[in-house]
Each structure stands twice: as C-alpha cells, then as structure tokens.
Structure 1
C-alpha cells in the first residue's frame, strides 16, 4: 500500500497547499508552480499527474470531470479530487489530510471525487 502524493492544479488556491504542508509536513503535495502547470490544458495536466503518480487536486468542476472521463478511456490516472471553491480553507485542508490518512494511492486509480459530495 502506497501513500498518496498530491498535485495541485493551477486553479487550486496556493494557500491550501501551504496550509496542508504546515499541518502535515510529511505529506507530499506538489504545487502547480513547482510542476509548471500554469496555462496547460486539462488533458496535459492529467498526463503530468499520472506520469508522476499523483492525485490531482483542483477546483475545476466544469471541465475536469469530462476531461478525466475521456482521459481514463486510454490512460491510467492516479485520481482527481475536486474541492468546492466555496469550501472554507480549513475544510479543504482537512479534506486533503483525511484522504491522505485513510486511503492508499491504489484506491484512487481512475477515481474522481468531489468534496463536499
């Protein structure tokens, strides 16, 4: 069983990444800036996250679910976690840490989850 590693999408608030890492420094959460994702199309973002074995964390409820569905017809994804933009910062941080604590990377393969549901 492998620990989940996360990749922030370019639309995810950086404060969420910072807050997660402050609360749980052992968690592996790469920022969009570190991965150079600004201006990259959804399919390519999914490819980068998949190549690196990371669950993509995004606020994109409009285009990402459809793009994800198309992506997994031909490639393997390590998963996508969509956080509502209306979710308070503390709730977003808690959700990511909870996912990291209670699930494994294998459980997220080709899975997408929206939080809150």
Structure 2
C-alpha cells in the first residue's frame, strides 16, 4: 500500500494543494476534510485516526507530539509514522521531500517513528 498523508490543521492548505498538483496519485488529506477528524481534535485522537486509517501524520508540532506518540505506543497502539516539518526548509523543499518519500518508501518503513524532515 502506498503512503498516505494526513496534514494537521496547522499546516498551510497550500501544502495539500501543491502535493496533489505535483503528484495527483498521492493520497493527501488535511484535518477537517470530509472523513477526517474535525479541526480542534486532540492530538491523541488524531493518532488513533491515523492508526485506524493507515495515514502518516504530517505536523509541525515538535513539542507535544513525541509525548503523545509515546503514550499511544505504551497503550499497545501503533501509528504509520509522524513527519515533523523543518522550519528551515522552504515549502518547495518540503513538498519535494514528501513526494520522494512517498514514491520510494514502503508503507511500513516509518511505523511508530517520528521523523524530522528532511527524511531523505
């Protein structure tokens, strides 16, 4: 199965637009899209949704997400992975990195991991 991305609500909508423009075969959703958790959903609930639906979370939450992931794993749960954006990367660099990751990585490569971009 190909990697699927869920962008958290604090990621600019242009990321989703540009990812899909550059690679229309990607499955990229944002929190608040139909079928995803609504905006203002708590991070632990977003991790549960990602686990249940097989989406990697793309976020800029560097402070609390590692704690939430640790708690999630300690409950015996799993997550396909979490990518944390690098504030020193441009949007174009981030888009390129996420597309490259999706094109060459097996779906389970990042399970239960937090990866700080750039990942490749």
Report the TM-score when normalising by structure 1: 0.91
Q: Unaligned stretches of 5+ in structure 1?
A: none
Alignment partner, residue 17 of structure 1: 16
Task: Note the aligned Cα RMSD (angstroms).
Answer: 1.4
Aligned length: 116
Q: Tell me how far apart the structure 2 counterparts of residues 63 and 37 of structure 1 sit (CA, whole Å).
A: 19
Residues 7-65 of structure 1 deviation map (CA, whole Å, 9 limit, x = unaligned): 11111111111100000000001121212431111101111111111000001111111
Q: 2:103 aligns with which of 98, 101, 104?
A: 101
State whether residues 43 and 68 of structure 2, in contact with CA within 8 Å, keep that contact through their aligned partners in structure 1: yes
CA distance in 1, matches of 2:113, 2:37: 24
1:54-109 per-position Cα deviation (integer Å, ceiling 9, x unaligned): 00000111111111121112201111011123421101111110110111111121
- Tell me which residue corresponds to 2:25: 26
Distance between the aligned counterparts of 1:103 and 1:36, measured in 2? 25
**TM-score scaled to structure 2, two decimals?**
0.89
Distance of 1:107 and 1:36 partners within structure 2: 24
- Structure 1 stretches of 4+ with a deviation exceeding 4 A read none
Is 1:43 the counterpart of 2:44 in the alignment?
yes
Comparing both structures, which one devotes a greater share of its residues to helix? 1
**Long gaps (5+) in structure 2:** none
Change (3 A) 1:37 1:114: farther
Structure number with greater CO (CA < 8 Å, separation at least 6) is 1
